[in-house]
């Protein structure tokens, strides 16, 4: 073969290979700095959006940090204080992002220092588009400049939203911010808020630490309002997603509504239990400075939090559904299991978890702890169950004994 024809044939073969293999944006954009391992278990914290929306200020953030540290939330494992949309107002002549000077007169650095002074971590919000969802300046075209600024301010966590992105490709846009953060000189959690639109489960694990799977949650047992869904609607959208989660890479079914007033105490217990089964980031969305006893009791249930934070990092799945009655199971480290018997119906139900749902032989003995009543039953075999309140759960930890 003439050498030129040979060269052309080689090139064509190469083009064929390239066309056949899917090329990910993070490969072509050389996301070569490793993703920092800063979310080995799902992040825990607080975010301003669910309760306060655009009504954020340094006074509010300080109060929430004070409350997180003093209430027992910090002791229970909550760490991040994240300001969502509307902290930012404009860019200066050099393109540097500016906080709203009226609401944050002392500036973001001073606020981050305050939060750090409480032994907590500090997070901010931006958007991959020209404007955020709330109409503030987004990071498109400013990714590296913004990431450097966040690092200088002491930001530990970035929630990065997807409004006003036009025809941008999601994977590419998030990869650019991931690269900017990794080159910023500071370890920063990247919370991808792309609403599950363009299969974030395919590229999210390489690019970020968590990725939203749906539109927004709102504080209701069930329902649909434009872009937002009630708690059980969001839950139903998680059913097929468990395989994609692993340590440092989590599905995010959106933030908690516990304590915001739209659900009953029983429903909030269910919400919190199910989010723990999903290995969801536990980001409280209520006013931490005005929590009633039930809200604090739910958010700081250490047994339920231990399920969420289990180091094996395997997300739970729905193993059984008979009408309104569901059984969710999550394998835990060391051969233990968490299970939730969930009654979505309007009347109390007798429910039973059979050992075969756990993959255990019927005669295998186990100790069972009810994670809400704290009752421990030893030497159980075959099955475990009880009465489950309407809209309630029975949540247990099953520890097989040798
Ligand atoms: C989107 C996000 C929300 C919140 C708002 C802020 O709707 O999904 O979680 O950040 O934007 O404007």
193 CB within 6 A, ligand 1: yes
* Cα separation, 380 vs 363, whole angstroms: 9
Distance CA 240, CA 316 (A): 10
Nearest ligand 1 atom to the CA of 255 is: 9
Neighbours of 130 (CB within 10 A): 15
Cα of 216 from ligand 1 centre, angstroms = 7
Q: pLDDT tens for the chain, 402 residues: list them.
A: 454 445 554 544 444 444 556 688 888 887 878 999 999 999 999 999 999 999 999 999 999 999 999 999 999 999 999 999 999 999 999 999 999 999 999 999 999 999 999 999 999 999 999 999 999 999 999 999 999 999 999 999 999 999 999 999 999 999 999 999 999 999 999 999 999 999 999 999 999 999 999 999 999 999 999 999 999 999 999 999 999 999 999 999 999 999 999 999 999 999 999 999 999 999 999 999 999 999 999 999 999 999 999 999 999 999 999 999 999 999 999 999 999 999 999 999 999 999 999 999 999 999 999 999 999 999 999 999 999 999 999 999 999 999
- Pocket flag, ligand 1, residue 49 (CB < 6 Å): yes
CB burial string 312-344: b at 16+ within 10 A, e below? ebbbbbbbeeeeebbbbbbbbeeebbbbbbbbb
CA–CA separation, 174 and 128 (whole Å): 7
Tell which one of 45, 46, 126, 161 to mutate to probe ligand 1, the residue whose CB is within 8 A of the most ligand atoms: 161
Evaluate: CB of 134 within 6 angstroms of ligand 1: yes
Could you give the CA distance from residue 340 to residue 279 in angstroms, rounded to a whole number? 13
**CA nearest neighbour of 160 among 188, 185, 183, 198:** 188
Q: Is 84 in the pocket of ligand 1 (CB under 6 A)?
A: yes
Task: Give the position, in ligand 1's atom list, of the atom nearest the Cα of 125.
Answer: 10
- Active-site residue, 92 included: no
**How many Å lie between the centroid of ligand 1 and the Cα of residue 254?**
10
Cα of 324 to ligand 1 centre, how many Å?
31
Contact status, residue 122 vs residue 81, Cβ threshold 8 Å: yes
């Amino acid at each position: 073969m003439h050498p030129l024809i040979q060269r052309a044939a080689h090139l064509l073969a190469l083009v064929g290979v390239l066309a056949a293999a899917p090329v990910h944006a993070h490969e072509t954009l050389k996301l070569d700095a490793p993703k920092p391992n800063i979310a080995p278990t799902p992040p825990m914290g607080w975010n301003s959006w669910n309760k306060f929306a655009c009504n954020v200020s340094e006074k509010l953030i300080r109060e929430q940090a004070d409350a997180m540290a003093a209430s027992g939330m910090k002791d229970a494992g909550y760490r991040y204080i994240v300001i969502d949309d509307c902290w930012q107002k404009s860019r200066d002549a050099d393109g540097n992002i500016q906080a709203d000077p009226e609401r944050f007169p002392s500036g973001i650095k001073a606020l981050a220092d305050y939060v750090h002074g409480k032994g907590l971590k500090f997070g901010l919000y931006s958007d991959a588009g020209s404007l955020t969802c709330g109409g503030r300046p987004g990071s498109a075209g400013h990714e590296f400049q913004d990431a450097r600024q966040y690092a200088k301010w002491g930001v530990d966590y970035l929630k990065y939203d997807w409004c006003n992105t036009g025809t941008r490709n999601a994977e590419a846009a998030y990869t650019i911010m991931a690269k900017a953060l990794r080159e910023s000189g500071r370890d920063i959690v990247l919370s991808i808020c792309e609403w599950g639109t363009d299969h974030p489960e395919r590229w999210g694990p390489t690019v970020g630490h968590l990725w939203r799977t749906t539109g927004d949650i709102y504080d209701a047992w069930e329902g649909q309002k434009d872009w937002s869904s009630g708690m059980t609607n969001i839950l139903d959208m998680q059913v097929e997603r468990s395989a994609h989660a692993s340590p440092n890479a989590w599905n995010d079914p959106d933030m908690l509504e516990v304590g915001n007033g739209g659900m009953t105490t029983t429903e909030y217990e269910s919400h919190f239990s199910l989010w723990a089964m999903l290995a969801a980031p536990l980001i409280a969305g209520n006013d931490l400075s005005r929590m009633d006893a039930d809200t604090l009791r739910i958010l700081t249930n250490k047994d339920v939090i231990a399920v969420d934070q289990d180091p094996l990092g395997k997300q739970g799945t729905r193993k059984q559904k008979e009408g309104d009655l569901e059984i969710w199971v999550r394998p835990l480290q060391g051969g233990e299991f968490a299970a939730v018997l969930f009654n979505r119906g309007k009347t109390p139900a007798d429910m039973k978890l059979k050992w075969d749902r756990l993959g255990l032989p019927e005669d295998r003995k186990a100790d069972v702890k009810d994670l809400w009543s704290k009752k421990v039953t030893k030497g159980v075999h075959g099955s475990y169950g009880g009465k489950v309140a309407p809209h309630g759960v029975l949540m247990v930890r099953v520890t097989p004994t040798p």
